Structure formats: C-alpha cells, structure tokens
Structure 1
Amino acid sequence: MLRQLHSLPGLIAALLVMILALSGAMLSVDPALERLHQAPVASGQLNVGQLAGRVASHFSGVEQIQRSASGTVIVYYNQNGQAGAETVDPLTGQGLAPYQPSAFSRWMKDLHRSLFLGTPGHGVAGAGALFMLMLSVSGALLLARRLGGWRNLLRPIRGNFSQRWHAEVGRLVLVGLMLSALSGTFLCATTFELIPDGSAIEPAFPAHVSAGPAMPVANLPALRNVDFNDLRELVYPSPGNPQDVYSLRTAQGDGYVDQGNGALLSYQAHDSTRALYELIYQLHTGQGLWWLGLLLGVCALSVPLMSVTGILLWWRRRKAGPNIRHNSPAHSADSVILVGSESNSTWGFAKTLHDTLHAAGHTVHSAPMNSYANNLGHARQVFILTATHGDGDAPSSASQFLARLAKNGLKPGQPFAVLGFGDRQFARFCQFAHQVEAAMLQAGGTPLLALETINRQSSQEFSRWGQKLGAAMGQELSLNHIPDRPRTHQLELVERIAYGQQVNAPTHVLRFKAVGDLPCFEAGDLVGIVPPGSAEPRFYSLASNSDDGMLEICVRKHPGGVCSGFLHELPEGAPIEAFIQPNPHFRPASGKQPVILIGAGTGIGPLAGFIRNNKARHPMHLYWGGRHPASDFLYEPELNRYLADQRLTRLQAAFSQVQDRSYVQDRLISDAMALRRLIEKGAQVLVCGSREMAKGVMHALDEVLAPLNLSVLTLKAQGRYLEDVY
C-alpha cells in the first residue's frame, strides 16, 4: 500500500511536479542576486527618517519607498510629470540604476504560481505542491522501511543504478523538498482563503490630523523610531493635501504617520497569523534568506532525476510482475505457490516453479501471500517463495500474510516448503522467511523440506533447491530459471597466469580486453559469462576497474565445471560473450578508516583489485588462505609490490598443505589484538570466498570481537561487514 501511495502520485503528476520544481529552482537564484548587488545595513545604523531625508536630497516628487526582504531599496517618484523608479544606496540615498523588474523573472513567477492559467492555475500549482508533499512523506517512509528503521537512515544504500540514485538523491534532498512542498501547499491554501494570512486586519484610518505645515520627512519622529531593516514600504501623502498621511508598513505592523507633526496616528501590530504567513512565505521563496533559497533550488533540481529514475523503477517492477499461464483456482489446485516480493523479482522464480510443476502434470495456483484465505481445498503441497525487506520485514505483497495465517489457520498436517530470497550483506538475511516457516509450523503444517535460502537471486542455488524438492515429492524437478540479463559484450583473452596445478587446484588469473565499448565497472562487480552449450550465465568477481584497461578474473577449475573448464581451455586471443552486473554493496568504504580484507582461494580476486586501486594509501590489511606457497600463492608478485609501495599495509597468508598447516581463520585468531585495535578505529571488514570459509571467518571474528562486546552481526548492522560468498 505504501509503495502504491508513493508511485501513483508520482506517475500522475510527474510533469507538473517537474515544471514547478524547475521554475522554482530558477526563481531561487533571485534573492541571492539581489543580495549580491545590495550592501547590507547593520541594525541601528540607519532609521527610516534618515533614509527618507537622504532620498529627498537626490529625488523630487517621491511617492513611495520600498525595501525588499533582501534589502534592495526602490524609490518611485514623479518628476516633471514623468514617473520613474530607481534602486538606491540606502546609506547615501543616491540612485544606483533605473529599476526595471526582469521580464524573465515575471514570466517564471507566472509559470510557477499559476502555469499562466490565472486563478484555476493557482489551484493546479497547489495540487502539484500537495503531490510533492505526498511523494516526500511516502518516500521517507519507504526509505526508512528499506533501511530497517529511522535510526538507519544514514546507512549505505544498496541496489541497481536507478534504485541507488533514486534513494541516495532522495535522502539528500528530502528535507528541502518537504519544506518547499509544505510551504507551497500552505500558500496556495491562503490564496483561496482556506487558511487566513492575517492581511485582513489593518490599522484604522485616522479621523483627525494636525493642521500645521508639513515637517521635513527626515525629522518625523515616527519615522526616526523605525529601524531601516524593519521597513517594508513607506507611501507618501498626496502633494498639496495637508489632510493626507504617510502610510507605513514594517516587519512588526502597519500604521499611519501625521505629515504635520510626525506622530504615529494609528498602528496595528501583526498578529501571529500574519507572522506565520510571512515566515512561511520567506521559507518558500528565500526572500531575506538567500542561502536557504539556493539550498531549496538545488533540492528542486533533483526532481527531474527523481522523476526519471522513479518511472524507470516503476516500469521495471511492472515488467517483472507476474505473467502466470495455466493458473488454476486455489480451491481446485493440488499445488499452491504463495509469493512475497517487494520489487517483483521473486515472481520470476515463482513462474519457473509454476511452469515446471504444470509441465509435470500438477494443477497449480500462484498468488501473492497477502491473498491467503485458507481456501486451499485439495492442495497436496504449499510452496512459499518470499523475499525479506529492510531490517527483516515482510515485503509489500506479504505484509498481511502472518495476520491472515493466524486468523484463517491451516489445514492440519498441510505439507509445505519455504524458500527465502535475500542478500547476505544484510544482518537479518531472509529473516521474514524464517518467521513464515515458524508460523506455518505453529499453524500445524508439515515441512516437505527445511527452510532453504537463495542469496542474490542465484539461479544455481534455485536449481539445487529444485532437485531437493523433487526428491521430497518423489519426482524429478528441473528448475532452470534464466533471469533477464543485460546485452553482452565481446571480450578477448590477452593473458593467462596459471597456479595450483601441483596441489590439484588448477587456478588461472585471466585478463581480457574489450572488443569495442565496455560499460564502466569496479573491482568487486561481477562479470556474467555464458559458456557454449549453456543458457545460464556463471558469475565471477572482478579483480580490476575499467580504468585498468582490462577485465580480470580469477577462476579455479572445478571437476565437471562447464564454465570453469571452458575458461581454462580458452586459448589466448579467443573471444567470449560477457556482461557486467554491478555489485555496489561490496566495496571498501570511502574515507581513511582501515579496511580488513579476508579471503581464501579465488576470493582474493576482488580483494587484490581493491588493493591495486588503493592509490590514496589508506590502511589495508589482507588475510588470505591458500594450499601451498610454492604452487597457489595467488597474486604473490603483485602483493609484494603493493606492500612495497604501501597500497597494502600488511599481509597475513595461511596455507593448509604445509608442515605447520593453518587456515585463514587461524590467522585471524592469532592476530586478535591487532584486529581489535583496527575495529576500534572504525575498520570495515570485507570477506570473499566460499560459503564454508565465510562461516569459519564469522565464528573466528565473533571470538576476536567478544572482548569488545561486539559481534559480526553488530558490524553487519553498522554496514561495516560485507560478504561476497559463493
């Protein structure tokens, strides 16, 4: 519901909001330009009487003096029957330049305030401000939910390019956009008199004035008592009319001044309503707060980017949505698939399962988890495929499932299997899937399989789950899910460095050059390679940046490995087809804090890339495990060079096939004191390698961190522990 509340106004009002934002950004420059050309006057340095007297020495026939919120003084006069207006120096009263309001600025104001449609246009602009307010509030709620609560609002944001830009920019400009939208909505409401602005309360026009001759304006006591910075407007009496008066508007109130004796004849102070209106007007326009105007203008410039990335995200979710054929009614299906998804990506896996079961002769019903109503009828098995959102929360299509399950119950002994989708970088990886499994057990269900989890949409892990599921059901299931992938690029192998043959772990460092253009990438991103005879890509972590002029990976040959075997046999000069998959959540943090790199085997690839590009020489400590230093010490020459030029601060290597055999976990335990010091300095930990190695590293680091009352889970929650495991 929250996502729809955010998306729908954005789609409806995208063009309107962009027009209002861009025109507002253009207008936001005006207060700063005014201030740039106007010298500030200190409070108490000049009063209104002095100002009027100095103006009188340079201009005759003065009719009005105005002071803008930015401090610009404008004198309107009538000299020899010719009306004129000039900006003046308030300290001398001397004219600076003829005053001619900018036609462009006037045009932009009409566009921003009414879209050139008059009164109806004010209503349309107000609706645009209201839409922006809804988008800002719902966007803030979505961001907080995605990051696991308001306390995590400054945590790193993960996702694809559009997701990260949309969320990162939104986080930066959120307060500014909310302020502009809220103040704009308020001003529109005052235009249509839905909210009072305090202007209806005016001072009473004086019934009696003195009969004496007019005093020099510089000597009028009432004007001399008003500080220049409080002046808004001074309107002169009609020439030759002794019964007329000066009309004075100030920041605190309005009144009338006797031209004969300079007395304040009547005065009406601004009430709280008027003060509120002027404050909100100032906050919206930046008049008098030029720096705020510029900040709001910069925030407004983000709206086109937010609109474009938001529409792209909506379109991708729409394309990724369910398109299920042969979807039987729930009450007549023997297999029911319930799906919990935030961005619809889980539906692609559900569709593969649905189609495979249907081809195997099952009647299948697939639906969002929120539609559960215990109408499963003849269902022999229920499959729940669910993602986890934010800090262990339910995704949008499953937010009501646990409540519905508690209310409607479950058929006693109902066979079920839960498959969780998530990202191991998050501290509460697949947490909602665990909650669902526990709730199904409590409701009386019988598990076909124990809970399984899929990391980062892995097709290989999904296929392995399908084999286990087929065994549990007593039939063969082949779940070959092939997600949409980007356009491939041709690469040519230019260099191969072989390791590990003597210890039966043949491993090659492969370097490719692009044939034609290649998108930008960084060490830690993934390259997807489709081997001949297979439709499913294999992913390898990159050990290079695009700035290095090559694409580098580290590949160990696995027995029966289709892609690793293909790459190990690939001759130099031969081409392959590949695509880049960004992996932005696996990066060293920017800044001077230490970085602890931990890996084993080919997991050293991206870690070596991080070290290679550590040109600022920030502290980097590498812990790595191999088999034998004489055979598979991967990147040994490069690492020695990096130690020499201080891109690598310290190297701790462990080898399992030497006399004093050890593993990377042992090196961590033996180096506990140094690690604790690094963690206390704010160090970030990056782990790359096999899943079993990562588990051992986690246990070892928990032991190391215990004296600090910390754990790996704590570091994950702080965004200081990142994994790339396989």
Structure 2
Amino acid sequence: MLRQFHSLSGLIATLFVVLLTISGAVLSLDPLLERSQAKIAGTSSISVAELAGKLITRYPGTEQIQRHPSGSIIVYFTDGDQTGADLINPLTGATIGAYSSSPIMVWIKNLHRSYLLGTPGRVVAGVAAFFMLLLTLSGAVMLINRLGGWRHIFRPIQGPFKQRLHTEVGRVAVLGLILSASTGLYMSAMTFELIPDYSSAEPGFPTHVDGGVPASIDTLSALKVIPITEFRELVYPYPDDPMGVYSITTDQGSGFVDQATGQLLSYQAYGNPQKLYEFIYMLHTGEGLWWLGLLLGLSALAVPLMAWTGIQIWWSRKQSATTINHNSAARLADTIILVGSENNSTWGFAKTLHDALHRLGFQVHTASMNQIGHHYPQAKRMFMLTATYGDGDTPASANHFLTRLAKMTKTPDVPVAVLGFGDRQFPEFCQFAKEVEAALITKGWPQLLPLETIHRQSPQEFARWGQAVSSVLDKELTLVHIPVHPASTTLTLVERVDYGTAVQAPTAVLRFKSPEGSHKGLLNRLLRRSGLPHFDAGDLVGILPPGSSVPRFYSLASASKNGVLEICVRHHPEGVCSGFLHGLAIGDTVEAFIKLNPSFRPASGKAPIILIGAGTGIGPLVGFIRNNKAHHPIHLYWGGRSPQSDFLYETELKRYLKDKRLTKLNPVFSRISQGAYVQNKITEDDVELRQLIGEGAQFLICGGRNMASSVAAALDKVIAPLGIDVATLKAQGRYREDVY
C-alpha cells in the first residue's frame, strides 16, 4: 500500500514538484552570491548612526538604507529626478557598484512561488509542496523498512543500479527535502491565511513628534545604540517635513525615531510567533545562512534525478506485471497458489507453476498472499511462493498475510509447500519465507513439502523444485521458467586457455569480442552498439546455448574497459551450456546478454580487500585484481586441485604480485596436501586476518555453495575473538558472496 501510494503521488505531482525544486535550487544560490559581495568584516562595532553619517556627503538624497540577511548594505536615493540604488561598503561608505535585482532571478522567483500564474499558481505551488512532503516522508519510511530500521539507516543498499541510485540519492537528500517541503508548506498556508500572518506586525505611529530642526543623522541617540549587525532597514522622513520621523527595523523589532531629538518615539518588539515565522523563512530560503541555502539547493537537485529513476522503476514494475490465465475461482480450485512479491518477478514463477498445473488438468487459483481465505472447500494442496523484500522484510503483496493467518480460528486442512525467493548476498536470505513456514507450522497447517529456497531467481533451481513437486503429485511436472532478459548479442571467441584435463576437471578461460570489430579502444562503443551495456568484473553474462531459451549465467572476469568479455568455465559432464562452451573453437560465436550484479563489487576506499574462491570462482576475483590500478591491498585465497594442471591464471596472478596490484597470493591445492582446502588456509592465517579486519577489511567470496558455507564457518571461528561474526560483516556491507 505504501509503495503504491508513493508511486501514484509521484506520478501525479512529478512535473510540478520538479519545477518547484529546480527553481528552488537556482534561488538557493542567491544568499551565497550576495554574501560574496557583502563587506562585513569588522562591522560589529559600527552603529546605524555611524553608517548613515558616512553616506551624508556621497548620498544627500538618501531615502532608505537596507541590510540584507547576507550582510549586504543597499542605499536607495534620489539624484535630481533620477532614483537609484547602490551596494556600499559599510566600513567606508564607498560605493561598490549599482544594485539591481536580476530580471532572470525575479522570473525564477515568480516561477517558484506561483508557476507564473499569479494566485492560482500559488495554490498549485502549495499543493506541490504538500505532495513533495508526502513523497519524501513515504520514501523515508520505505527506506527505513527496507534497511531494517533506523539503526541500519547507513547500511549499504543492494539491488539494481537504478533502484540503488534512487534510494542512495534519496537517503542523502531526505532531511533537506523534508525541511524545504515543510517550511514551504507553512509559508503557503500563511499566504492563504490558513494560519495567522505574523510577518506584518508594526508599532503604532507616534502621536507626538518634536517638530524641531532636524539634527545630523550621525548624532541621533536612538541610532547610535543599534549595531549594524542587528540592523535591517532605515527609512528616512520626507525632506522639509518637520513632523517626519525615521522608521527603523532591527532583528528585535521596529519603531520610529524623532529626527530632531533622536529619541525612540514608539517601538514594538517581535513576539514569538513573528520570530517563528522569520526562523522558518530563513530555513526555507537560506537567507542569513548561505551554507544552508546551498545544502537545500543540492537536496532539491536530487528531485529531478529521483523523479527520472522513480518513473523508470515504476515503468519496469508495470511492464513486469503478470497476467494469470485460466484462474479458477477459489471455491472451485483443487490447487491454490499464493504469491508474495515486491517487484512482480515472483509472479512470473507463479504463472509458470500455474500454467504447468493447468496443463496437467488441475483447477488452479492464484492470488496474492494478502488474499488468503479461511476456507477452500475443494483444495487438496497449496503452494506459497514468496520473495523477501530487502534484508528480511515482508514483500508488498504479503504484508498482511501473517496478521490474517494469526486471526484464523480454524486452519484449512490443505497441505502446503513454501518456496522462498531471495539473494544470498543479504544476511537474512529468504527470511520472510522462513517466517511464513514457521507460522504455518505453529498453526498446525499440514506440510506438503519442506521449505525450499531459490537464489537470484535461478530457473535451474526452480526446475529442480518442480521435480520435488512431481513426486507428491505423482505426475511429471516440468517447470521451465524463462525470465525476461535483454535481447542477446552475438559474440565471437577470440582466445581460450585450457586447464585441468590431467585432474579430470577440464576448465577453460574464454575471451570473446563483438563481431563488428576487435580494436580495443573501440570495444566499449562496439559492445554498446551491438546491445551490450557497460559491464564490470563481477557482473554476469547470460549465455543461450543452441536449442535452449533458458540462459546460463557466468560471472565476468573482465570489464568493458579491458577490451574483452571473459569468463572461466568448468566442463560438467551433464552440463548443456558448459559442454557447448568447451566445444567452441576460435572464431565460433555465442548469443549472450549482460545481467548487472552491482552487489558483488569491492567497496570504494583504501581498506584491505580479501578475495576468497575455489575453482572457476577465481574469474571475477582476477577481474577485481586486474583493475586494481590504485594498488589497494588485496589478499587472494584460492583453492584448486593441482598446481601443474589447474592453477588458473597462474602467470597473470604472479605478474600482479610484481606490479603490486595483488598484495598476497594464497593458493591451496587438495591433490598436493590431502584434504587441504581454502577454508583450512583461512584458519591457519587467523592472526593476520583479524588484523586486516581491524583495518576495515572487506571480503568477497565466489564459488560453489558448499565452499562458501565452509569458508563462512571457518571465518566465524577466526573472528569470534573480535566479538563479531560473518552475519555482522554482511550487515556492514563487508562480506559479499557470488555463490552457485
């Protein structure tokens, strides 16, 4: 519900909010520009009388003196029939230059306040400020929920690039946007008298004026006691009017001064409501706090970027919406599928399951988990497919499920199987699915199958789960889910290096280029023109083997700037794609596309990097080392079988040791030392690793799931004396995995 409200509000208000924020960002420069022109050094000891006295000779026709919040002093005067305004130096009274409001800034200010539409535009601007506040607050709540609470507000954000950009920018700008929107809304409400206007309170005009000969302004006692730093405005009396008075405004209040005696005739101090208004006005405009104005302006500039990314995220979500055909009514269905999804991708898997069951003759009803019913009279089985949002949170279409389940007084006698979707990069992998299964067990719900989990929407893992479902249905259920992926590009194999034949583990490093050309300096352009976006080591390439529409993903050992697309592939005896790749000769082609994997990257900074892998998991790790031109400390732990046969990238790694891109190489070979694996080497280096962790080290692990589990267990023991564990490092964004 909150996500839908946030998206709908953003779409409705986008144009007006963007205009409001861009114009506000431009206006935020005003305080800084004025501050740069102001001469304020040493002005604290100058009084208003002294300042006015310095202007007597230069400006005999002075009508008004103003001090802007920036400290600039402006004198307004007449010279014969001409009027003018000059910016002056308060220390000397000398003219700095003519003063005039920029027509462009006046136009932008009118655009900001009323969209150039007068009173109706002011109403629209007020509504836009209201929507901006709602968008910012709802976005902040969503961000907090995603990160697991206020305490984790600075936790690294995972996800696709556009989504990370949207949330990262929002996280930085949120306080500035809340301040701008709330103060703008307050001022708009005051404009339309929805709250009292305290900005125009003035003292009563004096009933008794001396009427004597005007004294020199620099001798007036009331003006002598007002320092220039507290002064705002001095309005002179009309010439040759003995009953005229000076009107003075300061930071504390306003009053009238007798031009003959210099006495303060009447005075009204500002009350708390007036001070509140002025404080809010200062916060909104930055006038008097130029640095705040700049911060608010920078925050405002985040809005167009977030609007652009937000619309793209919304459109992607809309495009990924799934239509369920042949959806039986819940009361007639023998099979129920309930779906918990945040960004619609889980619905695609549910549709594949729904369609496969329908083809087998089942009556299937598919709905969101929030629509769980109390009674399914014909149901004989139930499947719950649910993602986990962020790091352990409930997805949108299941955010009421646990509450509704808890309120059920009678549990339907329908066996249920829970399938969780998530990313092992998050510490709370498939946490919501685990909570769902636990709640169902507590309620006494019969179990059709134990909980299974799917990593990164793997079609292969989903197909294997389908085989488990087949066993309980006693019918062959084939689940072939084809996720939507970008159009593929033809790549040509230009180089291969083979390893591992002697140890029955044939492995190849394969390097591809776009067929349009092979000039290294042009590869980026060529790849983009042929459909591949920019990629980095650690991203994934989807390979489509001949005769299959289901891609197999491989971690990239190269970046676009390296001039090739490089992968490291082991030949599995029953592997369709690995067999195809190992059979390629130089000049052969493959169909491929890029899937970005931004969560598997070394974080920026100078902290040590510890890379851990086994077998072909070394691919992206070598890519990180290859691109370490800044020579950050990198320690590599890698496990193979034999140094003579499958020491992958041996020559290249030793070269990186010499040129300092790699700090330390720690290879382990199981055929040389029986039972020696990479996790054993980690245990041996416990002292060194604890020292590196104390220096802020981050870990990146790539390889098989069993290896990754063993590494995590070994590392937990190594870092236990530090009072932390792997889960802590994951929560801090210092432990990232790419496992399969």
Query: CA 1:621 to 1:409, structure 2 compared with 1: closer, same or farther past 3 Å?
Result: farther
Cα deviation, residue 385, structure 1: 0.5
Cα deviation, residue 173, structure 1: 1.2
Any unmatched runs of 5+ in structure 2?
516-525
Q: State the partner residue of 1:303.
A: 303
Cα deviation, residue 497, structure 1: 0.4
Letter in 1 for 2:460: Q
Letter in 2 for 1:623: Y
CA contact (8 A) 1:198 1:270 kept: no
Q: State the partner residue of 2:679.
A: 665
* Alpha-carbon distance between aligned partners in 2 of 1:412 and 1:254, rounded to the nearest angstrom: 76
Cα deviation, residue 717, structure 1: 1.6
Q: State the partner residue of 1:483.
A: 483
5 Å-filtered alignment, 1:144-183, equals 144-183=144-183
Q: State the partner residue of 1:54.
A: 54
* Alpha-carbon distance between aligned partners in 2 of 1:85 and 1:656, rounded to the nearest angstrom: 86
Task: Check if 1:517 corresponds to 2:527.
Answer: yes
CA contact (8 A) 2:156 2:732 kept: no
Q: State the partner residue of 2:520.
A: none
Q: State the partner residue of 1:637.
A: 651
Q: Given the alignment, which residue of 622, 625, 630 partners 1:616? A: 630
Letter in 1 for 2:569: V
* Alpha-carbon distance between aligned partners in 1 of 2:44 and 2:652, rounded to the nearest angstrom: 70
CA contact (8 A) 1:413 1:444 kept: no
Length-normalised TM-score, structure 1 = 0.98
5 Å-filtered alignment, 1:596-611, equals 596-611=610-625
Q: State the partner residue of 1:293.
A: 293
Deviations 1:31-88 (A, max 9, x none): 2111222222435331111111111110122111111111222222222232222222
Q: State the partner residue of 2:573.
A: 559
Any unmatched runs of 5+ in structure 1?
none
Task: Check if 1:544 corresponds to 2:554.
Answer: no
Q: State the partner residue of 2:518.
A: none
Letter in 2 for 1:720: R
Q: State the partner residue of 1:109.
A: 109
Cα deviation, residue 129, structure 1: 0.8
* Alpha-carbon distance between aligned partners in 2 of 1:22 and 1:487, rounded to the nearest angstrom: 36
Q: State the partner residue of 2:225.
A: 225
Cα deviation, residue 660, structure 1: 4.0
- Aligned partner of residue 662 in structure 2, secondary structure: coil
Deviations 1:155-196 (A, max 9, x none): 211111210110111111111111111111111011112223
Letter in 1 for 2:212: G
5 Å-filtered alignment, 1:429-578, equals 429-515=429-515, 516-518=526-528, 519-578=533-592
Letter in 2 for 1:111: L
Q: State the partner residue of 2:688.
A: 674
* Alpha-carbon distance between aligned partners in 1 of 2:670 and 2:371, rounded to the nearest angstrom: 53
Cα deviation, residue 409, structure 1: 4.5
Letter in 1 for 2:4: Q
- Aligned partner of residue 257 in structure 2, secondary structure: strand
CA contact (8 A) 1:596 1:622 kept: yes
- Aligned partner of residue 520 in structure 1, secondary structure: coil
5 Å-filtered alignment, 1:274-423, equals 274-409=274-409, 411=411, 413-423=413-423
CA contact (8 A) 2:43 2:91 kept: no
Cα deviation, residue 412, structure 1: 5.0
Cα deviation, residue 410, structure 1: 5.2
Letter in 1 for 2:472: A
Letter in 2 for 1:402: L
* Alpha-carbon distance between aligned partners in 2 of 1:709 and 1:295, rounded to the nearest angstrom: 39
Deviates more, 1:424-433 or 1:281-290: 281-290
Cα deviation, residue 197, structure 1: 3.8
* Alpha-carbon distance between aligned partners in 1 of 2:96 and 2:718, rounded to the nearest angstrom: 72
Cα deviation, residue 94, structure 1: 2.8
Letter in 2 for 1:517: L
* Alpha-carbon distance between aligned partners in 1 of 2:376 and 2:633, rounded to the nearest angstrom: 58
Q: State the partner residue of 1:214.
A: 214
* Alpha-carbon distance between aligned partners in 2 of 1:332 and 1:29, rounded to the nearest angstrom: 66
CA contact (8 A) 2:43 2:90 kept: no
- Aligned partner of residue 660 in structure 2, secondary structure: coil
CA contact (8 A) 1:499 1:634 kept: yes
Cα deviation, residue 598, structure 1: 0.9
Deviations 1:301-324 (A, max 9, x none): 121111011011111111222311
Query: CA 1:185 to 1:412, structure 2 compared with 1: closer, same or farther past 3 Å?
Result: closer
- Aligned partner of residue 210 in structure 1, secondary structure: coil
* Alpha-carbon distance between aligned partners in 2 of 1:647 and 1:495, rounded to the nearest angstrom: 24
Cα deviation, residue 600, structure 1: 0.6
* Alpha-carbon distance between aligned partners in 2 of 1:410 and 1:467, rounded to the nearest angstrom: 31
* Alpha-carbon distance between aligned partners in 2 of 1:401 and 1:661, rounded to the nearest angstrom: 47
Cα deviation, residue 390, structure 1: 2.9
Cα deviation, residue 143, structure 1: 0.8
Deviations 1:513-559 (A, max 9, x none): 12332421111000011011100000000011111111110000011
Deviates more, 1:492-501 or 1:150-159: 150-159
* Alpha-carbon distance between aligned partners in 2 of 1:413 and 1:560, rounded to the nearest angstrom: 41
Cα deviation, residue 14, structure 1: 0.2
* Alpha-carbon distance between aligned partners in 1 of 2:710 and 2:22, rounded to the nearest angstrom: 54
Q: State the partner residue of 1:67.
A: 67
Task: Check if 1:713 corresponds to 2:707.
Answer: no
* Alpha-carbon distance between aligned partners in 1 of 2:682 and 2:313, rounded to the nearest angstrom: 42
* Alpha-carbon distance between aligned partners in 2 of 1:713 and 1:532, rounded to the nearest angstrom: 41
Letter in 2 for 1:247: S
Task: Check if 1:723 corresponds to 2:733.
Answer: no
* Alpha-carbon distance between aligned partners in 1 of 2:328 and 2:65, rounded to the nearest angstrom: 79
- Aligned partner of residue 332 in structure 1, secondary structure: coil
Cα deviation, residue 135, structure 1: 0.9
Task: Check if 1:690 corresponds to 2:700.
Answer: no
Letter in 2 for 1:288: G
* Alpha-carbon distance between aligned partners in 2 of 1:340 and 1:409, rounded to the nearest angstrom: 23
Deviates more, 1:128-137 or 1:369-378: 369-378
* Alpha-carbon distance between aligned partners in 1 of 2:730 and 2:263, rounded to the nearest angstrom: 72
* Alpha-carbon distance between aligned partners in 2 of 1:273 and 1:702, rounded to the nearest angstrom: 59
Cα deviation, residue 574, structure 1: 1.5
CA contact (8 A) 2:368 2:397 kept: yes
What is the RMSD computed on CA atoms of the aligned residues?
1.4
Q: State the partner residue of 2:660.
A: 646
* Alpha-carbon distance between aligned partners in 1 of 2:684 and 2:97, rounded to the nearest angstrom: 78
Deviations 1:309-367 (A, max 9, x none): 10111111112223111111111111111111111111111111111111111111111
CA contact (8 A) 1:414 1:444 kept: no
- Aligned partner of residue 450 in structure 1, secondary structure: strand
Cα deviation, residue 26, structure 1: 1.3
CA contact (8 A) 1:524 1:542 kept: yes
* Alpha-carbon distance between aligned partners in 1 of 2:200 and 2:688, rounded to the nearest angstrom: 72
* Alpha-carbon distance between aligned partners in 1 of 2:305 and 2:58, rounded to the nearest angstrom: 51
Cα deviation, residue 661, structure 1: 4.0
Deviates more, 1:700-709 or 1:561-570: 700-709
CA contact (8 A) 2:255 2:268 kept: yes
- Aligned partner of residue 724 in structure 1, secondary structure: strand
Deviations 1:478-519 (A, max 9, x none): 111111101222211111000000111100001111233242
- Aligned partner of residue 304 in structure 2, secondary structure: helix
Cα deviation, residue 381, structure 1: 0.7
Cα deviation, residue 708, structure 1: 2.1
Letter in 1 for 2:721: P
Cα deviation, residue 573, structure 1: 1.3
* Alpha-carbon distance between aligned partners in 2 of 1:617 and 1:79, rounded to the nearest angstrom: 69
Letter in 2 for 1:219: T
Q: State the partner residue of 1:203.
A: 203
Cα deviation, residue 141, structure 1: 0.9
User: Displaced runs of 4+ in structure 1, greater than 3 A?
Assistant: 409-413
Deviates more, 1:209-218 or 1:529-538: 209-218
* Alpha-carbon distance between aligned partners in 2 of 1:111 and 1:200, rounded to the nearest angstrom: 24
Q: State the partner residue of 1:139.
A: 139
Q: State the partner residue of 2:594.
A: 580
CA contact (8 A) 2:374 2:412 kept: no
Q: State the partner residue of 2:42.
A: 42
* Alpha-carbon distance between aligned partners in 1 of 2:28 and 2:421, rounded to the nearest angstrom: 46
CA contact (8 A) 2:491 2:591 kept: yes
